[in-house]
Amino acid sequence: MLDWKFIGNTILKCASGIPETAILVIVTLIVSTPIAYLMALVNLKPKRILSRVFQVYISFVRSLPLLLIIYLIYHALPLWILSFGNFIGKEIDVYKIDDMVYGFIVFAFVSIPILSEVFRAGLLAVPEIQIKAGQSIGMTNFQVARHIVLPQVIDKQLPMLCTFTTNLIKMTSLAFYMSIREITGEARVAAADSIRYVECYLVIFFMYLIICLAVEQIFKAFERNSQKKKEGNWSKNYAGNTRTQKIVSGT
Amino acid sequence: MSKFDWAKIPELYTKIIPSITVTLEYVVIAFFFGLLFGGLLAWAKLGKSKILRALAYGYTTVMRCVPAIVLLFVVYYGLPRIIPIDTKGKVKFVAITLALFTTGSLSEAFRSAYQSLDKSQAEAAKSIGMTGPQALWFILLPQMIRIAIPNICNSLLALVKEGALAYTIGLYDLLGRGNYLIGKNLGAYVIETYVTLVIIYWPISLLITFGSKRLEALLDVSSRKERKRSAHA
């Protein structure tokens, strides 16, 4: 029924798409995290004009099928680049731009709003009194963000970040429509070559399953680690000191 | 390079919009079966049988970890091999795939809603002599539905969005119809077509989100009483 030798070959073929998927996911995360964080800071005050614009952007990405967004950007972006080139009086050869660049742009475009909502929820959970406490001991705004706010946001939102990362891995399965040969792309080529569709797609079915489970386990390890660290610090520095407890919990 | 032609959009709109029936067809079918099996799966997750519980959680994990397009291909190419099924009507493959996905996410919505209920509710129902099913139907379920509504609507929204993948197996739903028109126009008006699709999809999603909020407010009995009281005062 199933041809095991063929499946072995297909696994190797599809695995050659793993680097592409990994690059897509990692670059997207690196590019979109700082932008999303800034956007979340702006969105903390929802009545700002900029924040209203962002809300429309968030709604846009939340409402539309990813495939449609991919098609739209993939077809519209070259035209914008061309007209931008004409505007600054330079000839830009859009056909020389690597498909991966389009991939980064599309996935960053859809990731930023989702991540910004994750960060916003995390920021709302940091009591304002902590920020004031940081400023009162002479920390700069950057230091407050780096040492007080950010660790708590990341700590609190680690499960959400995990969900987001696995979703991003799943989203990259559509990168084939931008001619990127990642896992799904390789599988489609292999399937078309051999006309054994079921075997090929079953292979990547399990490949995605294993990858996403592994990513989840990595995040869980982070969570356990931060939990342990917190407990350790607590007993070492603050245990029994009710005054610091009060300040830290924000009451 | 041709300029963006706004005048073309109404024409494209009238050409694409009839295909909404196809989109609605698979969304409604998948949502119905998702609710049904999602409820069963939630029951298995909350039940006493260890095997059923492990199976239910395992199923949800698998559905969470696999991209929709991959499952769609597996169903589309694999199902006809296992059971004799007509490959012509592609709607059923999309509906089956989407139903498999929503079953997972809806079961989580039901489970978390049930677990967020206070245990004393069920005990109080029992103490006034209600049977188990009666307590579920009259006391627990109405409260569960209200709590689960945001998650249920998110699943519905995801259904509409993931459903657009139907085009990849050649079904002419909204996106498929749009791509068909692009082919028919020999690649002209590409961006106009996709903008038209944005104009079609966006209101659908906004409607679902708005409906979710309205329904939640409507079912919130405690705040309804408050409002009535303040209206009388």
Instruction: Say yes or no for a CB contact (<8 Å) between B201 and A68.
Output: yes
Whether the per-residue pLDDT at B196 is higher than 70: the answer is yes
How sure is the predictor about A140, in pLDDT bands with cuts at 50, 70 and 90? confident
DSSP 8-state code for residue B48: S
Whole-number Cα distances in Å, A52 to A110, A133, B18, B79: 18, 30, 33, 46
pLDDT at A95: 74
Q: Tell me which DSSP letter residue B117 carries.
A: S
The region, left, alpha or beta by phi > 0 then psi within -120 to 50, assigned to residue B118 is beta
ipTM value of the model?
0.84
pLDDT computed for residue B80 by the predictor: 82
Residue-wise pLDDT for A88-99, tens only, equals 777 777 777 788
User: What average pLDDT does this structure show over A120-132?
Assistant: 88
Query: Closest to A68 (Cβ–Cβ): which among B61, B73, B175?
Result: B175
Are A166 and B65 within 8 A, CB to CB? yes
Helix (H, G, I), strand (E, B) or coil at A53: helix
- B135 shares contact with chain A (CB less than 8 Å): no
Sort out which chain A residues have CB atoms less than 8 A from B211's CB and list them. Answer: none
The answer on pLDDT for B1 being more than 90 is no
Interface test with B, best of A198, A206, A212 (most B CBs within 10 A): A198
Q: Model-level pTM?
A: 0.85
Which domains occur in chain A, in start order? 4-249 (1.10.3720.10)
Which one of A60, A79, A201 has the shortest CB-CB distance to B70? A201
Q: Which of B1, B78, B175 sits opposite A65 (nearest CB)?
A: B175
Selected residues 204-233 of chain B with any CB under 8 Å from a CB in chain A: 204-206, 209
Mean pLDDT over B194-207 rounds to 89
In the CATH scheme, what is the code of domain B8-232?
Answer: 1.10.3720.10
User: A72 and B165 in contact by Cβ < 8 A?
Assistant: no
Nearest CB among B194, B198, B204 relative to A75 is that of: B194
> What is the share, in percent, of chain A residues with pLDDT greater than 90?
28
Mean pLDDT of B129-152: 85
Q: How many A/B residue pairs have CB atoms within 8 Å? A: 105
pLDDT for the residue numbered B223: 67
Chain B residues near residue A68 by CB distance under 8 angstroms = 164, 175, 194, 197-198, 201
Residue A247 has pLDDT above 70, yes or no: no
B201–A63 CB contact, under 8 Å: yes
Give whole-number Cα distances, B55 to A73, A202, B59, in Å: 41, 20, 6
Place of tokens 């929820």: A121
pLDDT at B6: 75
Are residues B202 and A63, on separate chains, in Cβ contact within 8 Å?
yes
Average pLDDT value over all residues in chain B? 85
Asked if B14 has any chain A CB less than 8 Å from its own CB, the reply is no
Are A67 and B168 within 8 A, CB to CB?
A: yes
> Which are the contacts of B173, defined by CB distance < 8 A and separation ≥ 6?
B19, B22, B23, B26, B94, B163, B164, B166, B167
Instruction: For residues B7 and B10, give the distance between their C-alpha atoms in angstroms, rounded to a whole number.
Output: 7
Split at pLDDT 50, 70, 90, the class of A114 is: very high
Note whether B163 and B173 are within 8 A (CB): yes
Encode pLDDT of A200-219 as tens digits. 888 899 999 999 999 999 99
d(CA A175, CA A171): 8
Signed CA dihedral, B75, B161, A203, A219: sign only: negative
Domain ranges, ordered by start, for chain B:
8-232
Expressed in angstroms, the distance from the first to the final Cα of chain A is: 66
Q: Give the three-class secondary structure for A64.
A: coil
Nearest CB to A65; choose among B73, B161, B190: B161
Q: Do A205 and B78 touch (CB under 8 A)?
A: no
| pLDDT attached to residue B178 | 83
What digits encode the pLDDT tens for the residues B39-97?
899 989 888 888 999 999 999 999 989 999 999 999 988 888 888 777 778 888 889 99
